[in-house]
Amino acid sequence: MRTKISVILLFISLALLIIYGADVISSKMASNDGKSGFLQLNEAIRGGGLGGGAVILSIIAFAISMKERSTLVVVLLIAQGMVHDGGSKSSTVYGTTGLGILLVALGIVKVFITRKK
């Protein structure tokens, strides 16, 4: 049951990351009026709400299924870590790269925790 909850949270998290990426791509095509993209959010709200929300859900999913063996949870954590891609500003690049590394590290830690069983 814990693994199913974790997988659901990770799919929601992945959906948030996809929406975040699509909004960033559409904002680069639009004019620079402060709010851009199809969601009409500025960079801080978009990054904190969608990107940060996705990371928080991923960490919760990791914590819920920490001792459960699940290859799907590991794959989703690592995939989400790889999906994190930086924007044009260096602080955004460093922040999203750091969060991506965190998610990949959680996936690797999960492999080692469940391997002992």
The sign of the dihedral angle between the CA atoms of 57, 8, 17, 86 is positive
Tens digits of residue pLDDT in 8-55: 998 998 888 888 888 877 777 765 555 666 777 777 777 778 888 888
The CA-CA-CA angle for residues 39, 40, 42, to 5°, reads 115
DSSP β-bridge partners for residue 36: 41
The model scores a pTM over 0.85:
no
Whether residue 1 has pLDDT greater than 80: yes
- pLDDT band for 92, please (50, 70, 90 cuts): low
Tens digits of residue pLDDT in 50-84: 888 888 888 898 889 888 888 888 888 888 877 66
Give me Rg for the CA atoms of the chain. Answer: 15
DSSP tag of 35: S
Distance, CA of 34 to chain centre: 24
36 in Cβ contact with 58 (< 8 Å): no
